[in-house]
Each structure stands twice: as C-alpha cells, then as structure tokens.
Amino acid sequence: MSDFEKKLGEKAAEAEKIIQGFLPEEAGYQKLVIEAMNYSVLAGGKRIRPVLMMETYRAFGGTDLDIVAPFMAAIEMIHTYSLVHDDLPAMDNDEYRRGRKTTHVVYGPGMATLAGDGLLNYAYETAIRAFSVRADLTPYDGDIADRRVKALQVLAEKAGIYGMVGGQCADICAEGKKEATLDELIFIHENKTAAMLESSMMIGAILAGAGKEQVEAVENAASRIGVAFQIQDDILDVTGDEKELGKPIGSDEKNEKTTYVSLNGLETSAEEVKRLSDEAAEILSKTEKSKEFLVPLVLWMISRNK
C-alpha cells in the first residue's frame, strides 16, 4: 500500500466516523425503513464525495470540521439514495452493490424505494444542523450572502432536476436508443455523475470562505472530474474485474445503455479521461494547499481500477 493509499484510508475513516454520527436511530414504528436506510449507507464504499468536500474545505483554509460535517453526511446520504434507486428492478435491477446484496434484494423493492426517499429527505434534515453550529463565516460575494444558505442551495440544486435527477432522466431516455448523440451522453455525465462531485467540492470551498470566482473555478474542475470519473466507470464496466469492483460488469451492455465507450471505443475514452483529469488538476493546483492531498485524490479517483 502506497503512502497516498494509507492517507486516503485515514481520510475515509475520518469521513466514515462523521457519517455514522449522523445516522438515525433504528426505533419506532418506522424502524424497518430506518434499518434499510442505515444498511444502505453502511454498505461501505470509498466515501469519495464527503472526502472531496472535507479536503476542498481544508484546501481553502477551513479548519473547523463541525461546520462542514453535516453537509459531508448529507452528500453521502444523497449519493446512497441514488444508488438504492438505481439498483431497483425498475431501473438497473442489480443484485449486488459494494460486494453485498442490494437494498431491494434484502428488504424488497417497496421498502428499498422508501429507504431511498428517506435518505434523500434525511439528508436535508442533516445539512440543516450546520445552522446550529457556532461559526463566524464571512459573507459570500455571490447571489446569496449567507454561506450556509448558499451551501444548502448548491446541495439541493445539484441533486435535483437540474443536476443528478435530470441526468438520470436523460440516462433512462437514452437506453436502447440506437442514435444517442455525444452531446446527450455528455449531458448525462455532467449531471448524473459530475453534479454531485461539483456539489461536494463547491460546498467545501463555500464553507471555507472561498470567493465566488474561486467557487466557480472549483465547479469547472469538478465538472471535468465527474465526466472523467464516469468515462472511467464505463471503461471498468467493460474491462474490470467483478470481484475487485464489488458489482457486476457488463451491466451497461445488458441494459442497452449508450456509453462513451460504446460510442468512441476504449482507446479514445482513455485519452479523454487523461485530458479531463489533467485540466482539472491544473485548475485546482492554483490553490496551493490543494497539492497536498486534493489534487492527488482527484488523479487517483479518475485513474482507479475499482
């Protein structure tokens, strides 16, 4: 294990502790849906989004994790809800996620649907806890001066119809479409995948005190990261090892999904991943502290093998 991988493990463990601290108690008549929610969140994973938020926060000079912690937990809850719904029989109908049975296989499609709904709503309940944290935040020089309100707006918009949900809609519409265009595919990647990475990094920068221009630069970098990340995911769906990935490979072909790989081939796809990752790293490197861990993290996640 490399020094970077050890450090990533430590960062992921730090994020994991924060996430678990915000999970709801499994009690009451609603106990089963909460149990299904927690089962989904605790399935593991690299916690990329909360770690990205945390490290972007630190790269822009943030020191008090209490203010960003509720948003870190919230972003992982939103990400997890999207996976729970993606795995449903009406969507991708996958039986394994992160190496174990998916939520709908364990709890049934109805309860899994409710678990996803519960996680999405509870994410906002969790993010709002940041408003009770004592912190002196400077005014934001964008359209909303209150940094916590601005962070909440970013969280909501990037997860919604003009972000992840919009991308998922376009993705479903593209299934089995023989003449899906590259523009449609890039729209899907920019919204279904990149929007939540943009959200993670923008919120980290906003809460750390970054200005509007800096936040916009972070958004541009994260957009490139997200598209490259998804293209790499498409590559792994063709070339990856099922045991290493912890989920079935070949699901894109099975579901007749148009992907960057199916349109452009593996070689061109790999070249695009490198171009986008280099551009993202160049943008982020303008913030000196980002070179310590954030930029290496971005390059690692884009070039991953699992």
Q: How many whole angstroms from its chain centre is CA 131?
A: 23
Q: Is-contact 249 237, C-beta < 8 A?
A: yes
Mind listing the pLDDT tens digit for each residue in 264-293?
Answer: 999 999 999 999 999 999 999 999 899 999
Let me know if 295 is exposed, middle or buried by CB neighbors in 10 A (0-12, 13-18, 19+): buried
Q: What 3 state SS string does 174-238 have?
A: HCCCCCCCHHHHHHHHHHHHHHHHHHHHHHHHHHHCCCHHHHHHHHHHHHHHHHHHHHHHHHHHH
- Return mean pLDDT, the chain: 92
Out of 142-156, 164-178, 248-262, the most confident range is 142-156
pTM of the model: 0.92
**Average pLDDT of span 223-240:** 89
pLDDT at 103: 97
Mind listing the pLDDT tens digit for each residue in 24-61?
Answer: 999 999 999 999 999 999 998 889 999 999 999 999 99
Range of the domain at 98: 3-302
Q: Indicate the number of domains in the chain.
A: 1
Mind listing the pLDDT tens digit for each residue in 75-94?
Answer: 999 999 999 999 999 998 89
pLDDT band of residue 67 (cuts 50, 70, 90) is very high
N-to-C CA span, the chain: 15
Q: Is-contact 199 79, C-beta < 8 A?
A: no
Which tokens sit at 42? 């605790």
CATH code for position 33: 1.10.600.10
Mind listing the pLDDT tens digit for each residue in 92-143?
Answer: 889 998 789 999 999 999 999 999 999 999 999 999 999 999 999 999 999 9
Residue 182 has pLDDT above 80, yes or no: yes
**Average pLDDT of span 227-244:** 80
pLDDT at 245: 47
With H, G, I as helix, E, B as strand and everything else as coil, classify residue 97.
strand
Interatomic CA distance for residues 288 and 306, integer angstroms? 29
